[in-house]
Amino acid sequence: MIFSVPRMSCGHCTSAIEKGIKAKDPSAVVTTDLDLRLVTVQSNLTQSDVQTAIVGAGYEASAA
């Protein structure tokens, strides 16, 4: 799954997003690209659950 996170701009942002996703699925693989502001997630969670986790971390996200 790939999400566009327009306000993700620093290491703190990526850490908060990764922490939010891993709180719901500790085995998730989360990769971030600050230049493109994309988050790629490999997880058993649904796309909606991952998006909710990113929003819960304080960032707007949409499927890319």
Confidence band (pLDDT; 50, 70, 90) for 53?
A: very high
- The string of pLDDT tens digits covering residues 4-16 is 999 999 999 999 9
- The string of pLDDT tens digits covering residues 29-42 is 999 999 999 999 99
Residue 9: predicted pLDDT = 94
Domains of the chain, start order: 2-63 (3.30.70.100)
pLDDT more than 90, % of the chain: 98
Mean pLDDT of the chain: 97
Residue 63: predicted pLDDT = 94
Instruction: Give dist(CA 33, CA 41) in Å, integer.
Output: 12
In the numeric block, the tokens 């659950």 are attached to 49
